[in-house]
């Protein structure tokens, strides 16, 4: 009888009876990876109002803002008190920030920039300052009243061993409170790459999450890894296989950039990297759509470093609206090729030489990149030079620890003497 009744149900009712997965929460922000500056990698908690104001001025004057770096983010150390939240309120340090945080946000906004701040879900943050536990609604409202645009919410120390359900609860709580505010606030859930955070954070409305522990100021120095820090290649390898979780509004975060630290960070371990290695690091972070948050002192960048950070052709890969993440398509150990499809059908190709000696590297779009291009143009995005059209494998020299980055476009092919249409020509 029951069977007969069930069979007679109209199809639409049967469909309606299926349980619906909950809709992912979204604040509609960070549709391309956030770009800006963050205080931590160089200054640690020794930040002041003067440093932030001078940083904003420098980013306007040196072209960084116009290249897309609009966030000036205060990391840990802006708070007044060290110690548990149950014993202290959350206030700005009046000695470091005599005119308060709203003054900084207004200053940033008047100059076409945004201001970010830092807190965490525990009693204390990683550097021991008061956290947000039990006061999430109050803190989200406070940040919004100051004009904050970005919150790094850091659970690395307070929740290192917390079960996944508890992690989800604390990030959901803050995400919900931020979404109640009138202004949009980008949310970074910083959990140092633990708890499979990439699998669930986007559904809570998180805009980016770290995929690894803190970066060190090294290109490749395996010893740090055991001591907590990941170098550039560690972070890169960590992201292989996680591409599927990243996309517009919710990004894998490979940690803040070390370009320009030159081994002089007041905070990070590491002896620094060469100019070539910093450029490779920057190219890789752009290709995998990591947020581009500069960690060095941008008030004093040398010309080469500034040219690295403001290469608009490399930044365009990171900010491409298509949001497809570069994949490692060739892996010969020391030589690797990464490929990223852009919204307009062109393809960015990165040739990485991790080895100690210069190597010749080769790619053919169909064979190596899965790109159906038989005749293609090649542009070198660091030399800013067109390298002509090609219909055989493209081979070039790549120095030790260098990344060469090319943009390739399909060109019209000739079949029986007749030109075929070029799908991607502008």
Which helix (H) or strand (E) is 175 found in, with range? helix 164-179
**Does residue 190 touch ligand GLA according to CB under 6 A?**
yes
Stretch 7-46: interaction string toward ligand GLA, x if CB under 6 A: ---------------------------------x------
A 10 A CB-CB count for 93 gives 17
Verify binding: residue 124, ligand GLA, rule CB under 6 A.
Answer: no
237 vs 355: CA distance, rounded Å: 15
What SS3 class is residue 366? helix
CA-CA-CA-CA dihedral for 98, 261, 58, 116, to nearest 10? -50
Report the length, in residues, of the chain: 426
Tokens of residue 165, six digits: 């359900």
Any contact of residue 76 with ligand GLA (CB under 6 A)?
A: yes
Question: Per-residue DSSP letters for 295-314?
Answer: -S-GGG--HHHHHHHT-HHH
* Residue 87 CB neighbour total at 10 angstroms: 9
Nearer to ligand GLA, 38 or 346 (CB): 38
Q: Rank residues 158 and 346 by Cβ distance to ligand GLA and give the closer one.
A: 158
- Given candidates 42, 75, 243, 277, which one binds ligand GLA under the rule CB under 6 A? 75
The one segment of 119-127, 171-179, 305-313, 414-422 that binds ligand GLA by CB under 6 A: 119-127
Only segment of 6-14, 125-133, 141-149, 341-349 that touches ligand GLA (CB under 6 A): 125-133
What is the smallest separation between the CB atom of 155 and ligand GLA, expressed in angstroms? 9
Two structure tokens written together for 319: 């900010």
Subset of 347-366 contacting ligand GLA (CB under 6 A): none
Binding track over 211-240 against ligand GLA, x by CB under 6 A = ---x--------------------------
Q: CA–CA separation, 88 vs 141, rounded Å?
A: 18
Q: Is 126 in the site for ligand GLA (CB under 6 A)?
A: yes
Which of 45, 76, 139, 214 does the annotation list as catalytic? 214
One residue of 108, 115, 127, 369 binding ligand GLA per CB under 6 A: 127
H-assigned helices in 70-151: 100-110, 136-146
In the complex, which residue's CB is closest to ligand GLA?
126
Of the listed 154, 217, 255, 320, which one is catalytic? 154
As measured in angstroms, the least distance from the Cβ of 290 to ligand GLA is 14
Q: Is 139 among the residues that bind ligand GLA (CB under 6 A)?
A: no
In 313-402, where do the E strands start and end?
327-331, 335-341, 347-353, 359-363, 376-380, 385-390, 394-398
User: Order of strands, edge to edge, in the sheet holding 376-380?
Assistant: 327-331, 335-341, 347-353, 403-410, 376-380, 385-390
User: For residue 221, what are the β-bridge partners?
Assistant: none
Shortest distance, position 160 Cβ to ligand GLA, whole Å: 10
Residue 331 annotated as catalytic: no
Nearest Cα neighbor of 78 from 37, 23, 116 is 116
**Residue 214 is a catalytic residue:** yes
How many Cα neighbours within 13 Å face the side chain of 290?
26
From the list 51-59, 124-132, 218-226, 390-398, the region that binds ligand GLA by CB under 6 A is 124-132
Q: Which residues are the active-site residues?
A: 154, 214
Can you give the binding site for ligand GLA, defined by CB under 6 A? Answer: 40, 75-76, 125-127, 154, 156, 190, 192, 214
């Amino acid at each position: 009888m029951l069977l007969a009744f069930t069979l007679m149900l109209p199809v639409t009712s049967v469909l309606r009876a299926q349980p619906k997965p909950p809709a992912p929460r979204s604040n509609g922000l960070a549709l391309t990876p956030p770009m800006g500056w963050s205080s931590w990698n160089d200054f640690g908690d020794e930040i002041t109002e003067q440093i932030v104001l001078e940083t904003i001025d420098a980013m306007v004057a040196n072209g960084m803002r116009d290249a897309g770096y609009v966030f000036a983010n205060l990391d840990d150390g802006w708070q007044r008190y060290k110690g548990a939240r149950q014993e202290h309120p959350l206030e700005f340090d009046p000695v470091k920030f005599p005119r308060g945080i709203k003054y900084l946000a207004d200053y940033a906004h008047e100059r076409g920039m945004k201001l970010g701040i830092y807190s965490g879900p525990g009693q204390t943050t990683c550097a021991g300052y008061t956290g947000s536990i039990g006061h999430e609604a109050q803190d989200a409202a406070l940040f919004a009243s100051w004009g904050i645009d970005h919150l790094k919410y850091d659970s690395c120390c307070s929740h290192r061993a917390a079960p996944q359900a508890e992690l989800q609860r604390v990030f959901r709580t803050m995400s919900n409170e931020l979404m109640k505010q009138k202004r949009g606030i980008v949310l970074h859930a910083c959990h140092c790459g633990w708890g499979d955070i990439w699998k669930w954070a986007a559904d809570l409305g998180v805009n980016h999450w770290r995929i690894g522990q803190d970066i060190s100021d090294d290109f490749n120095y395996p010893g740090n890894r055991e001591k907590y820090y990941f170098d550039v290649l560690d972070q890169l390898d960590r992201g292989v296989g996680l591409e599927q979780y990243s996309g517009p509004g919710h990004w894998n975060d490979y940690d803040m950039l070390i370009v320009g630290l030159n081994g002089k960070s007041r905070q990070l371990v590491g002896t620094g990297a060469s100019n070539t290695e910093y450029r490779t690091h920057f190219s890789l972070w752009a290709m995998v759509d990591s947020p581009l948050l500069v960690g060095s002192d941008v008030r004093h960048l040398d010309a080469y470093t500034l040219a690295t950070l403001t290469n608009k052709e490399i930044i365009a890969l990171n900010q491409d609206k298509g949001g497809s993440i570069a994949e490692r398509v060739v892996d010969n150990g020391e030589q690797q090729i990464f490929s990223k499809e852009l919204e307009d059908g062109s393809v960015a190709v990165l040739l990485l030489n991790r080895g100690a000696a210069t190597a010749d590297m080769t790619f053919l779009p169909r064979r190596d990149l899965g790109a159906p291009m038989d005749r293609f143009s090649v542009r070198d995005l660091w030399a800013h030079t067109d390298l002509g059209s090609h219909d055989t494998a493209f081979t070039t020299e790549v120095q030790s620890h260098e990344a060469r980055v090319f943009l390739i476009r399909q060109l019209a092919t000739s079949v029986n003497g007749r030109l075929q249409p070029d799908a991607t020509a502008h």
